[in-house]
């Protein structure tokens, strides 16, 4: 059942032509050149390379666009997280604008306040350092005794 079809026939049939076939030298050279070089022709290869380059550049553009979208999403998420954190640290916003205690303040305002405190601490430290000198202390006592 079907075994006869899969067996090779032992009787090879050979046909003989009455007219001899002749090929031009160009056809023979072309066929031998084709057999000698298994790769595509240089023109075909350059076409293939151009297609591959265009596909790669299109994919690169697509990936860069996706990367920009992901960056924007991450930036929005981080910005939201930072705002939530600032609100939690500063407390809820108050109803009145006069009271700044407990209101949400921007990072720039907080940095300004921090710089003010630093300047005050520096001034205090310089005054304290001056009072440690005995000359300054003696002069200040002399001024105090004048007022007594």
| Residues sharing a CB contact under 8 Å with residue 56, sequence separation 6 or more, in sequence order | none
Q: Is residue 95's pLDDT more than 60?
A: no
> Structure pTM?
0.37
Give 12-25 as a DSSP string: ------SS-----H
* Mean pLDDT estimate for the chain: 80
User: In percent, how much of the chain has pLDDT > 70?
Assistant: 78
pLDDT value at position 94?
A: 46
Torsion of CA 126, 129, 131, 133, to 10 degrees: -130
| Residues sharing a CB contact under 8 Å with residue 45, sequence separation 6 or more, in sequence order | 39
Q: Is residue 73's pLDDT more than 80?
A: yes
pLDDT value at position 4?
A: 58
Tokens of 46: 């350059």
* Residue showing tokens 């205690």: 101
């Amino acid at each position: 059942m079907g075994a006869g079809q899969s067996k090779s026939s032992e009787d090879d049939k050979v046909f003989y032509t009455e007219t001899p076939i002749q090929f031009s030298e160009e056809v023979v050279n072309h066929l031998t050149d084709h057999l000698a070089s298994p790769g595509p022709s240089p023109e075909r290869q350059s076409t293939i390379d151009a297609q591959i380059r265009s596909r790669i550049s299109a994919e690169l553009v697509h990936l860069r666009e996706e990367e920009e979208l992901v960056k924007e999403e991450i930036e929005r998420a981080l910005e939201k997280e930072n705002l939530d954190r600032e609100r939690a640290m500063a407390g809820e916003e108050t109803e009145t604008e006069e009271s700044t205690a407990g209101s949400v303040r921007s990072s720039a305002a907080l940095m300004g306040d921090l710089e003010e405190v630093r300047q005050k601490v520096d001034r205090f430290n310089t005054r304290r350092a001056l009072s440690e000198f005995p000359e300054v202390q003696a002069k200040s006592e002399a001024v105090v005794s004048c007022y007594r």
